[in-house]
Structure 1
Amino acid sequence: MAPAILTRTAAIRADDPAATVAALIARARAAQRVFETWSQQRVDEAVIAAGWAIVAPDRNSALAQLAVRATGLGNVADKFAKNRRKTLGLLRDLRGAKSVGIITRDPLRGLTEIARPVGIVAAITPSTNPAATPANNIINALKGRNAIVLAPSPKGQSTLALLLEFVHAELARVGAPLDLVQQLPAPITRELTLELMRQAELVVATGSRTNVRAAYTSGTPALGVGVGNVAVIVDETADLSDAAAKIARSKTFDHATSCSSENSVIAHTDVYDALLAALASEGGALLTRDEARQLEAVMFRGGKLVPDVIAQAAGAIAAYAGLNRAELLNARFLMVAETGVGASHPFSGEKLSPVLAVYRAPSFDAAAELADRILRYEGAGHSIGLHTT
């Protein structure tokens, strides 16, 4: 069994980010060269070990509590559920997948596909999911026999540090090099993050448009997951109570931190009023036109979403906007009737909060065209939904 390579705290040189990152990369590369010699069985043991680092209930609870306390985003119960579900789902998807040696043979074309590690992966992770996203990045990197260095958001740094303690304990248990998984030293700076992108072999960026754009312009091959802004169509045949329950569950889960959370609902005109009633029965509250204007003025400044409302409870957002109607203060989520799309209609974009834009469409074709416009404004290539029978 190969000896574990002990993790050390990188020396922080504010005047030389390149040297700080180079030290991390050197240790990651030494660990990865050991790890790339492992068999499929041993690699999969390391993958499962990394998954258990966050799924173990006591560890998951500690991570969920720290994530909410450190970032001020979301809620503990949903963080716990997200950490567990996302990790178990990924492990299920990876189970049995080959990532070592010969993957496929095609005798007819004379082709043999052989898996080769990328090397060092740089992962840029968001404050909205400071444990679940890094855990999934780590698992994916290890499955390919890669090392990974993570660059968390400043608010997510302490949660990631705790996650790495758990991951290192599990890697040590299976005899894996600990330097396979590292993070940038605190304080997390833009200069360190950009330097990490330049020195790695692959960048995986999750979060803001700024981070994704930086990854794609870093000069290193990159995979980016940015703005979600999911639009969902509810046609005239849909089971409205079922649709409303699912939309509400998604819109309120972890105060809408997930990029897959609905941001706009487009209802066929024949069921528009009935759908609003069904959403209201699930805890939604529709704002008046004046209330919507007041909320817009507070939520969006200079065309940008205000950080203070991100991943907060609906009642807290209403109070922040000075909306004192009891129905709004007690709502699970807020609904805004919208007609336009684009910068002059900011509710048509991603809101990262339990605030839902609601549109009326005269036909399915009109609804599809509107969904296309919404996604082209923000969220192209991400997600769309349809409730129908």
Structure 2
Amino acid sequence: MSQSREAEVIAGLVAKARAAQTIADGYDQAGADRLVAAAAWAIMEPVRNRALAELAVRDTGLGNVPDKIQKNHRKTLGLIRDLSGAKSVGVIADDAALGVTEIARPAGVVGAITPSTNPGATPANMIINAMKGRNAIILAPSPKGYSTAALLLSYVHEEFDRIGAPRDLVQLLPAPVNKALTNELLQQVDLVVATGSQANIKAAYSSGTPAFGVGAGNVSVIVHRSADLAAAAERIVRSKTFDNATSCSSENSVVIEAAVYQPMFAALAAQGCVLLSGDEKAQLQAALFPAGKLSGDLTAKTAGDIALAAGLARAANARVLMVEESGVGPEFPFSGEKLSPVLTVYRADGFDAAAAQVAAIYSHQGAGHSVGLHAAPEAADALALQLGLTLPVARVIVNQAHCIATGGSFDNGLPFSLSMGCGTWGGNSFSENLGYRHFLNITRIARPIAPRNASADALLSAYLAETGRNGAAFSLKP
């Protein structure tokens, strides 16, 4: 397809999206919420959910069907819970004291890049957030995830037909999706939201279009000497094995305080983790990182399948493969993201050393994303605050299964999302979980209020006294 042809194709999609979005712009809050419910039911209806999960695993080769079913349902249910009652149409806030009224307006036409790791749940999440703001959205899925996105789109359109909503509010790039077509989409839409490879994120941010993109995952979790080791091991393994570690929020390294190093290994072994010897680690490295790069063939496979591929028959029944490490950086590939049930273990002499080890890991990969902490409740608050004040992370997850908690959970207060902003640490323009407000423009009406005059003397007197200039005078010349 020539460049002019690609531009023409995208222009056609965008034109249809704008026409549909003009209709949606006239919807009231109930109409926007009806769009949300329709898009949610498109993936949550049990028969459809299973069909999407089965197709995703078949065509991407990533993850497993039961966990994808759970993810599709749970992430969507949590999102619509968060959106229930939220104002996204018309006046959404009115501060009489400040004389400021806020009005929600659509962003317009959204271009959404979605990954192969979550080819159903992530597009659904983006569609629902876009619909909450009465936007139109055009999906640019990964090639492997295209079939799942296409099936999801058919379900969304079926639901839109039931409520009389325009189908063109949600569209999909034509197959085969390629970089040139996707890049042209980024040029013509009003807003870009991108989840997936860092190459896609870079393309989004360099497109010249306002963009929200996420940072690289490479989550580390610290096990403090006060932790309930059995509970910590269960949470870590539950997170690390969920959907075969397709999530960017899955633990990649666990940093264990020396005082509980061996007991924590025993707790992890009780959960089905197998620690590899030095020779076995070398075998795994050769299989998992051929030519120094993560193998796509072993991404998001079970630990047993990875073990057999590496010639490690004794670990064929492992739930998680563990390797000990002390170094960080490209020459230590296990210090990076593995997207598989492989866990790197570091030993630290105390909590400060553990935090420093995490900082070193994030200086290599994963800055901005999140860190996990397992500690006794009476110690956890102070330790979590220390991590939040010093590490380059947007989230500190305390005593939870990390990949389940980071994107929102029914037992924590984070909003449900499959796209986690990593702030400037991760090269992102935002540091919270992507949500419906990122899909809105806000218009503010400002009215006259009683003057709130300021006194330079009152505001600067402490500073001037501190710097020895108590007698400084202020004057305003006409």
Global fold match (TM > 0.5): yes
> Secondary structure in 1 aligned to 2:259?
coil
What is residue 140 of structure 1 aligned with on the other side? 129
> Secondary structure in 1 aligned to 2:26?
coil
- Judge conservation of contact 1:13–1:19 (CA < 8 Å) in 2: no
> Secondary structure in 2 aligned to 1:356?
strand
> Secondary structure in 2 aligned to 1:149?
strand
Q: Please tell me whether residue 127 in structure 1 is matched to residue 129 in structure 2.
A: no
What is residue 206 of structure 2 aligned with on the other side? 217
TM-score by length of 1: 0.95
Q: Please tell me whether residue 298 in structure 1 is matched to residue 267 in structure 2.
A: no
What is residue 336 of structure 1 aligned with on the other side? 323
Quick check: which has more Rg, 1 or 2?
2
- Judge conservation of contact 1:73–1:311 (CA < 8 Å) in 2: yes
What is residue 100 of structure 1 aligned with on the other side? 89
Superposed, 1:1-389 pairs within 5 Å as 16-324=5-313, 326=314, 328-389=315-376
Deviation at 1:107, TM superposition (A): 2.2
Deviation at 1:315, TM superposition (A): 1.1
Deviation at 1:14, TM superposition (A): 7.4
CA offsets 1:61-91 (integer angstroms, 9 cap, x no match): 1000000011111110001001001111111
> Secondary structure in 2 aligned to 1:154?
coil
CA offsets 1:2-46 (integer angstroms, 9 cap, x no match): xxxxxxxxxx77762111111100000100000011000111011
Moved more, 122-131 or 313-322: 313-322
- Judge conservation of contact 2:139–2:172 (CA < 8 Å) in 1: yes
Gaps of 5+ in 1: 1-11
Q: How far, CA to CA, are the matches of 2:228 and 2:75 in structure 1?
A: 28
Letter in 2 for 1:19: E
Deviation at 1:297, TM superposition (A): 2.0
CA offsets 1:118-155 (integer angstroms, 9 cap, x no match): 00111101111000000000001111110000000101
Q: How far, CA to CA, are the matches of 2:126 and 2:112 in structure 1?
A: 7
Deviation at 1:227, TM superposition (A): 1.7
Q: How far, CA to CA, are the matches of 2:140 and 2:336 in structure 1?
A: 26
Q: How far, CA to CA, are the matches of 1:110 and 1:70 in structure 2?
A: 55
What is residue 6 of structure 1 aligned with on the other side? none
Q: How far, CA to CA, are the matches of 2:62 and 2:215 in structure 1?
A: 18
Moved more, 342-351 or 295-304: 295-304
Q: How far, CA to CA, are the matches of 2:320 and 2:86 in structure 1?
A: 40
Q: How far, CA to CA, are the matches of 1:223 and 1:302 in structure 2?
A: 32
Q: Identity over aligned residues, as a percent? A: 62
CA offsets 1:336-376 (integer angstroms, 9 cap, x no match): 10111111111111110000001110010111111122123
- Judge conservation of contact 2:3–2:180 (CA < 8 Å) in 1: no
Deviation at 1:386, TM superposition (A): 0.3
Gaps of 5+ in 2: 377-478
Q: How far, CA to CA, are the matches of 1:48 and 1:370 in structure 2?
A: 45
What is residue 8 of structure 1 aligned with on the other side? none
Q: How far, CA to CA, are the matches of 2:309 and 2:203 in structure 1?
A: 32
- Judge conservation of contact 1:341–1:373 (CA < 8 Å) in 2: yes
